[in-house]
């Protein structure tokens, strides 16, 4: 049994993937989603990738994230928050960004899988769960 578990370690760590180099704020926006259906963003308008921004401050969002076991806040600034979410079963890592617009009081977001093509709605479901926890 121990040999089996040790054999799985390299596989599971490979599920994490490398952190993306193209995320962050550029020209006041978060990076666009790729064509694959494993990303949602409040800056996207198509049905597959588009999602409503959050009516919350970064402090409120951070309070919710701290309570989520799968969330790891990587960096934060006055208007930007970057978090990694790790799935408990396979160790897949998704990158979730929040960009607060002080003029409108809303927070834009982007949630994307590092690996694979389809996420079976995991990124959209995560954001909707956060939205519900903010209420």
Q: Are 24 and 95 in contact (CB under 8 A)?
A: no
- Write out the two tokens for 77: 């600034």
Helices (H), the chain: 2-14, 58-66, 122-134
Which of 89, 108, 112, 87 shows the shortest CA–CA distance to 99? 108
What pLDDT score was predicted for residue 13? 44
Q: What are the tens digits of pLDDT across the range 101-115?
A: 999 999 999 999 998
Q: Can you list the domains of the chain with their CATH numbers?
A: 37-134 (3.30.310)
pLDDT at residue 18, as a whole number: 82
pLDDT in tens, 114-129: 988 988 899 999 999 9
Q: How far apart, in Å, are the Cα atoms of 84 and each of 6, 49, 62, 102, 114?
A: 25, 19, 13, 24, 10
What mean pLDDT, rounded, does the chain reach?
89
Q: Give the mean model confidence (pLDDT) for residues 34-53.
A: 97
d(Cα 101, Cα 118) in Å, to the nearest integer? 29
């Amino acid at each position: 049994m121990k040999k089996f578990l040790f054999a799985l370690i390299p596989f599971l760590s490979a599920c994490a993937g490398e952190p993306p180099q193209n995320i962050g704020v550029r020209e006041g926006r978060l990076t666009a989603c790729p064509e694959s259906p494993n990303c949602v963003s409040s800056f996207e308008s198509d049905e597959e990738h588009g999602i409503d921004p959050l009516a919350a401050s970064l402090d409120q969002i951070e309070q919710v994230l701290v309570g989520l076991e799968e969330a790891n806040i990587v960096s934060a600034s006055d208007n930007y928050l970057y978090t990694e979410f790790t799935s408990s079963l396979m160790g897949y890592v998704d990158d979730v960004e929040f960009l607060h617009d002080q003029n409108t009081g809303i927070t834009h977001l982007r949630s994307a899988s590092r690996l694979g093509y389809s996420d079976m709605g995991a990124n959209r479901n995560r954001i909707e769960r956060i939205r519900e926890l903010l209420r």
